[in-house]
């Protein structure tokens, strides 16, 4: 009898701590996924920019309340946090999804495509979930519903973090993960570990992550060039900031290709905006440019800052303009780091969740403010491929043509649930 008890204990442990719950997920997923897809389509159709996620946060909060979670709203302006206390002792685990959309005019032609327009940086723009945050929110709502249904079998507690302003708060405002932490998110809930997921234009239903430094640090820069306005027919009477802006663009594109050593550490410098002028026959007084810098090495980032400043100083002398350079406009995102030990521990889990459609990937020059969370506690940030089945290349994140194949989302749901169960 004693020997039988010894053999039964491991089975009992597995039953109580996750083995049966994975089987329950196999039963529940068919009823959860139609809701996930419906939520995603609704959020996609009504996207909201950073720190303006009012409709989305209400939808999330209403759902979390309806399934019995303790819910906190208004975190970092529009963030929502749900707490599920399991029926068994165990750790506190956090799972995060981001909620904001981008100033992009949608061109997908979907039946639920966004028609929303708003003002951004003084211009009328479209608003689109061009980065897939609608999928992140819907998946995490489904994860929360599953765990709430099986609350008594959950060991420890799960903190569901629905974060605003991942794409960066409006200039002059705070927001995002950094603000949530500054408001005491982790001090209040005390999670041991945090998981996150991002959809991308990758093979359908495949999951992967990069160990260690997974995503780059990001800094937005702005250059303002002040010249002297004149008539377009008499350019010699003024100082042309547009000409100087074109020279700046040519030279800034040599920073990575010619001016710094990127053998061991990749870097990117891009120009994303240029604004100047109001009429064809007026040389304007001012031109402005904005762009992004992506690095994995802090020292290299400093070198890039210095090179850009040097380019600006040289152009001031040669053109007669006055040039102001700003870095970290709207804040700075550190490197997103995947905890090595946690990642190794979760590889078998992710292989199981994806039915073997898993692989380690290389680091990416994209950036994420999930980085602030993973600076505080061990974190693991995974990617889910959402291309149409059999399609290798589709428009990527931030494209007006970016789409998410709904049939891939169940793999994301399973991955987050399995990681929480196996931790």
CATH number at residue 273: 3.30.70.360
CA 337 to chain centre: 13
Q: In this structure, what DSSP letter does residue 77 have?
A: T
Cα distance between residue 255 and residue 257, in whole Å:
6
Q: What tokens does 405 get?
A: 């194949």
Does 298 lie in the same domain as 170? no
Total Cβ atoms within 10 A of residue 241: 27
Query: Which domain CATH number covers 33?
Result: 3.40.630.10
Dihedral, CA of residue 176, residue 375, residue 218 and residue 56, to nearest 10: -20
> Taking the model in full, what pTM does it have?
0.92
Helix (H) / strand (E) element for 244: namely: helix 241-252
Q: Among residues 277, 305, 326, which one ends one of the domains?
A: 326
| Pairing of β 207-209 and β 358-360 | parallel
Q: Are residues 394 and 269 in the same domain?
A: no
What residue has token string 């040669």? Answer: 318
Q: Are residues 363 and 382 in the same domain?
A: yes
Cα separation, 221 vs 270, whole angstroms: 10
Q: Look at residue 121 in the predicted model and tell me its pLDDT.
A: 83
Q: Please tell me the chain's helix, strand, coil percentages from 3-state DSSP, rounded to the nearest 5.
A: 40, 25, 35
pLDDT at residue 63 in the model: 98
Torsion of CA 76, 156, 352, 408, to 10 degrees: -30
DSSP classification of residue 169: P
Query: 86 and 210: one domain?
Result: yes
Query: Is residue 368 packed enough to be buried (19+ CB in 10 Å), middle (13-18) or exposed (0-12)?
Result: buried
Does 145 map to a domain? yes
Tens-digit pLDDT string for the chain (423 aa): 444 344 444 444 444 444 589 999 999 999 999 999 999 999 999 999 999 999 999 999 999 999 999 999 999 999 999 999 999 999 999 999 999 999 999 999 999 999 999 999 888 999 999 999 999 999 999 999 999 999 999 999 999 999 999 999 998 999 999 999 999 999 999 999 999 999 999 999 999 999 999 999 999 999 999 999 999 999 999 999 999 999 999 999 999 999 999 888 899 999 999 999 999 999 999 999 999 999 999 999 999 999 999 999 999 999 999 999 999 998 899 999 999 999 999 999 999 999 999 999 999 999 999 999 999 999 999 999 999 999 989 999 999 999 999 999 999 999 999 999 999
Is residue 44 included in any domain, yes or no?
Answer: yes
In this structure, is residue 259 part of a structural domain? yes
Looking at the structure, tell me whether residues 222 and 80 fall in a common domain.
no
Q: Are residues 48 and 189 in the same domain?
A: yes
- What is the Cα–Cα distance from 76 to 51, expressed in whole angstroms? 8
> How much is the pLDDT for 10?
43
pLDDT the model gives residue 1 = 42
From residue 398, alpha-carbon distances to 166, 170, 359 in Å are: 13, 18, 24
Together in a domain, 270 and 410: no
Answer whether 185's CB lies under 8 Å from 370's CB: no
Residue 3 maps to a domain:
no
Tell me which residue of 227, 218, 236 sits closest to 288, measured CA to CA. Answer: 227
Collect all residues with Cβ–Cβ distance below 8 Å to 299 and sequence separation of at least 6. none
Helix ranges (H only) for 320-394 are: 340-353, 370-376
Domain co-membership, 318 together with 194: no
Kindly state whether residue 2 falls inside one of the protein's structural domains. Answer: no
Residue 10 lies in a domain: no
Name the residue among 220, 188, 380 with its Cα closest to residue 304: 220
Report how far residue 9's alpha carbon sits from residue 219's, in angstroms, rounded to the nearest whole number.
Answer: 53
Q: Which long-range contacts (CB under 8 A, 24 or more apart) does 167-173 make?
A: 167/49, 167/50, 167/100, 167/101, 167/102, 167/131, 168/50, 168/220, 168/330, 168/331, 168/369, 169/50, 169/51, 169/330, 169/331, 170/49, 170/50, 170/51, 170/330, 171/121, 171/329, 171/330, 173/51, 173/77
Same domain, 187 and 262: no
DSSP states along 259-301: IS--SSS-EEEEEEEEEE-SSTTEE-SEEEEEEEEEES-HHHH
Supply the pLDDT for residue 19: 57
End-of-domain residue from the set 326, 353, 377: 326
* End residue of a domain, out of 277, 293, 326: 326
What is the span of the domain harbouring residue 284?
217-326
Same domain, 308 and 342: no
Total domains, the chain: 2
Q: Is residue 367 one of the residues assigned to a domain?
A: yes
Do residues 139 and 257 both lie within one domain? no
The reply to whether 266 and 406 lie within a common domain is no
> Which one, of 349, 413, 355, 411, lies nearest residue 146 by Cα?
413
pLDDT for the residue numbered 5: 42
Domain-located, residue 79: yes
């Amino acid at each position: 009898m004693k020997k039988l008890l010894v053999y039964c204990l491991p089975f009992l442990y597995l039953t109580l701590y996750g083995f049966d719950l994975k089987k329950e997920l196999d039963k529940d997923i068919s009823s959860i996924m139609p809701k996930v897809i419906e939520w995603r389509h609704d959020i996609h159709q009504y996207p909201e920019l950073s720190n303006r996620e009012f409709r989305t946060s209400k939808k999330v909060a209403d759902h979390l309340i309806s399934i019995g979670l303790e819910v906190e709203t208004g975190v970092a302006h529009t963030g929502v946090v749900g707490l599920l206390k399991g029926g068994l002792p165990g750790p506190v685990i956090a799972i995060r999804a981001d909620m904001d959309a981008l100033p992009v005019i949608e061109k997908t032609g979907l039946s639920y495509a966004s028609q929303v327009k708003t003002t951004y940086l003084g211009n009328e723009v479209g608003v689109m979930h061009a980065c897939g945050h609608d999928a992140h929110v819907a998946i995490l709502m489904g994860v929360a519903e599953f765990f709430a249904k099986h609350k008594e079998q959950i060991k420890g507690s799960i903190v569901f973090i629905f974060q605003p302003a991942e794409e960066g708060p409006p200039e002059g405002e705070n927001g995002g993960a950094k603000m949530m932490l500054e408001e005491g998110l982790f001090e209040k809930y005390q999670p041991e570990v945090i998981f996150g997921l991002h959809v991308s234009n990758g093979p359908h239903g495949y999951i992967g992550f990069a160990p260690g430094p997974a995503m780059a640090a990001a800094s937005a820069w702005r250059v303002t060039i002040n010249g002297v306005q004149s008539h377009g027919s008499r350019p010699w009477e003024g100082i042309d900031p547009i000409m100087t802006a074109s020279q700046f663009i040519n030279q800034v594109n040599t920073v990575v290709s010619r001016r710094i050593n990127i053998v061991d550490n990749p870097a990117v410098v891009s120009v994303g905006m240029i604004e100047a002028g109001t009429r064809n026959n007026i040389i304007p007084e001012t031109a402005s440019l904005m762009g992004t810098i992506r690095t994995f090495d802090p020292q290299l980032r400093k070198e890039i800052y210095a090179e850009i400043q040097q380019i600006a100083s040289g152009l001031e002398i040669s053109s007669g303009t006055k040039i102001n350079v700003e870095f970290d406009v709207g804040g700075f995102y550190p490197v997103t780091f995947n905890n090595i030990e946690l990642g190794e521990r979760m590889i078998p889990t992710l292989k199981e969740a994806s039915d073997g459609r898993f692989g380690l990937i290389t680091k990416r020059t994209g950036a994420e403010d999930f980085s602030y969370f993973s600076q505080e506690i061990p974190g693991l940030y995974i990617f889910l491929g959402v291309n149409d089945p059999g399609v290798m290349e589709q428009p990527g994140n931030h494209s007006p043509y970016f789409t998410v194949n709904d049939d891939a989302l169940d793999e994301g749901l399973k991955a987050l649930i399995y990681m929480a169960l196996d931790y």
